[in-house]
Structure 1
Amino acid sequence: MKKSLVILTLIISFCSIKLFAQEIDTIPINTKGMSIKLKRSPLPSRQSPLNFEPVKIQPYVVNAKVNYWKTKTNVGININQAQFSDNWKGGGVNSIAVGGLLNYKAEYNKNSYSYVSEVILQYGKIKNKDQLQKKTNDRIFWDNKASFQLSKNWFFFGSVNFESQFDNGYSYKTVNGAETATLISKFMGPGYLTESIGFEYKPNKYFSTRIGTGTARQTFVLDTALYRTNPQNFGVTPGKSFRNELAFQVVSAFDKDIFKNTNLKARYAIFIPYEDIAVNRVDHRLDVAITAKINRYMNTSLTGVVLYDRDTDVKVQASQTLALGFAFTFPR
């Protein structure tokens, strides 16, 4: 054992001496005063100056155009049908309902100028057995707005919008078991054309408020005999077909996806006529639509309208629609 330890110690000592000896493998030499000449390079050297000549390169023209327009189209179709046998004890009535929606929006943006045009067309009908056909929805709305940016969130705008309905509207009564219909509205009875200029506040992409300091609204009732079945005649003097009002108008709009595949769209408008400034003469309209996407081609929607307009009725009016159907969006 002792011999092994001695041998191991000698081996380690020998290796250490060899490593130390290998560390010093050069000897410093003082080259001061020595004449040292470098070997001439065998490669040829060029003594003459270099001449650079310009080379003409044909520019590559990219045939690309900037499109400042952005468009979107939504088309929806809703169908509801129910049928019962004559001996069905649960009760019910055969019915069929069809509804359609077209929403088109075009937007132009370039530098500080922008233009937005939006069209909303809605129409629906229901037919119950042994009853008259009735409308479930009917609206024509076309809004156009041009604006110029003044600061980060403020714009100067001018807008024109038109609103009416496609089909005749009736009120229904049952007399002696028979259902009767009375005409109360129709296309361009009423029809509204509104022009407005003012300032718009737009802090983000999904919310905006228009403050129309100079607003004019024309109400059309082209059927001059409509007042016989609708005494209100939408504020137009009986026998006439036109009325003009100057007013102060505020329009707020909200359009955002509040959840995944769920969109909330709302529009509130207040119309204050300069001719008769009173609380009960102020017009209010609120439109709300919640749309949930089920899959690529189907969605469900809940829409509602709250309206107060003394030229139409002295009470608040409201409507609500729940629909399930097919929806198509272009471009996808």
Structure 2
Amino acid sequence: MRKILLFCAFSLSLYALKAQDPGVKEIKSTAEKAVAVDTSHKHGWRKGGLFSLNFGQGSSKNWAAGAEKFSFSTSGQLSVFANYREGRFYWNNNLDLGYAIVNTTSLGNRKTDDKIDYFSKLGHDLTKTLSLSGVVNFRSQFTNGFDYTYLGKDTYKRRTSAFFAPAYLIVAPGIDWHPVPYFSLFISPISARSVIVTDAWSYYFPGGIIPVDDGGGFEKPLSTLYGVDPHQKVRMELGGFASANFAKEILKNVTYKSRLDLYSNYLSTYRYTPTGSYQVEREKHSAKPQNVDVFWTNLISMKVNKFLNVTYNFDLIYDDDDVRQFGPDNTSAGTQLRSLLSVGFSAKF
């Protein structure tokens, strides 16, 4: 299943249609500059970005089929770039921020999107389509995430993530291939990845001791949910890294932006079992470089007029080494999916 998914992802990233509408050339150009080599940029800095703000509201009264009495949702997205070029040297920077929250009468406030994603590529052109490059990528989130049915109880809400918990940092030297302005493929056979979890010993119950009435035993520290030793708070990995970037107007007034990151860890991994309050037992597992970690983010923007647009975000993550919170015993890796469809205002600068 994972092989099929990766094949589809690469196929979508390589797919492109010829742009036809002059009215969206500026939007198309801005998106392309953020992810690939900008052939029109010859000297100095070039900066820009796109901001969108979306709202949604619903209500009902005496609705026999069942519906929330009131719901309100809002989401915001900011994508900015700052690119520098001097001769054959270039430095491209892209920052994507996103946050969305929904409020309903039955559930209260819950976030549906939360993203910090900084991607920086520094390189020196060897040929028109090939560069010697280095990539730095940082990913995290703004606010806490929760398990709202912890231990099967609707009243138990355990924190499962926070700012810098986790955070991912990749530093990768490699080769960058950019055959066309709207597509680039970066490959690094040796790269370093850090998985960071602050407040590593975070628990729901005091000291992580589960009461007898709730089954007894000990909770897993927050960092172990991401394969990180709570005593160290950081886990280092060494592996191969590849990143495919695509941005193009694929249909009239429709722009598609996508990034697919693949990471293969060459080192052994560890699993952690709680044995007491603030105590864990570590078990070593052999390296499985064939189990490739996947991060795939997509944005489709459909422009209605100068300020109104429709956006669709779709993110997919599969992390075999670090995120093992799924399955019957909450100890298995799983494919994480997130999507968001919104209508609202946008401004380009």
Residue 248 of structure 2 corresponds to which residue in structure 1?
256
TM-score by length of 1: 0.75
CA contact (8 A) 1:183 1:229 kept: no
Give the aligned CA root-mean-square deviation in angstroms.
2.1
Report the more deviating stretch, 98-107 or 304-313. Answer: 304-313
How many angstroms apart in 1 are the aligned matches of 2:93 and 2:201? 34
CA-CA distance at 1:89 after TM superposition:
3.3
State the percentage of identical aligned residues.
28
CA-CA distance at 1:197 after TM superposition:
0.5
Residue 147 of structure 1 corresponds to which residue in structure 2?
123
Q: Which runs of 4+ in 1 moved over 6 A?
A: 174-177
Give CA-to-partner distance per residue, 1:199-250, whole Å, 9 cap, x none.
1000010000001123111111111214736574312113321111111101
Structure 1 residues 229 and 323: CA distance shift in structure 2, 3 A = farther
Establish whether residue 290 from structure 1 lines up as the match of residue 297 from structure 2.
Answer: no
How many residues align? The count is 264
Structure 1 residues 183 and 253: CA distance shift in structure 2, 3 A = same
Structure 1 residues 179 and 294: CA distance shift in structure 2, 3 A = farther
Counterpart mapping for 1:1-332 below 5 A: 68-85=44-61, 87-93=62-68, 94-173=70-149, 178-226=154-202, 228=220, 230=222, 232-276=224-268, 277-278=287-288, 281-310=291-320, 311-313=322-324, 314-330=333-349
Report the more deviating stretch, 105-114 or 177-186. Answer: 177-186
CA contact (8 A) 1:132 1:179 kept: no
- Structure number with larger C-alpha Rg: 1
The one-letter amino acid of 1:283's match is D
Report the more deviating stretch, 172-181 or 264-273. Answer: 172-181
The one-letter amino acid of 1:322's match is L
CA contact (8 A) 1:264 1:288 kept: yes
Question: Unpaired segments of 5 or more residues in structure 2?
Answer: 1-41, 204-219, 269-286, 325-332
Structure 1 residues 178 and 151: CA distance shift in structure 2, 3 A = closer
CA contact (8 A) 1:220 1:241 kept: yes
